[in-house]
Amino acid sequence: MLLNFVSKVFWLENKVENVRVSVQVFQHSKWLRRLAGGVAAVLLWGFGWLVLRPWIKTWYWQKNGVAGS
């Protein structure tokens, strides 16, 4: 049981080290940062288009008395 626990601790430590190396590579890679920024921008735009736009249109129409939904 103790051996199983120790092996899990070493496995977790190895995973944490892999994530740390990946983060360092990501921080030093200009193109990966640009790609991540582009993906984030597309996701935010999509959220605004699908969720916020209909809500804002409905609010605007109700405020200004425009018929329709």
pLDDT tens string 14-67: 888 888 877 777 777 888 888 889 999 999 999 989 988 888 888 888 888 876
Residue 68 confidence (pLDDT) above 60: no
Determine the pLDDT at residue 40: 95
Determine the pLDDT at residue 42: 96
All residues at 6 or more sequence positions from 44 whose CB lies less than 8 Å from its CB, including other chains: none
CA distance 18 to 4: 21
Determine the pLDDT at residue 41: 96
Q: pTM for this one?
A: 0.44
Determine the pLDDT at residue 19: 83
Minimal CA–CA distance to 25: which of 15, 16, 35, 33? 33
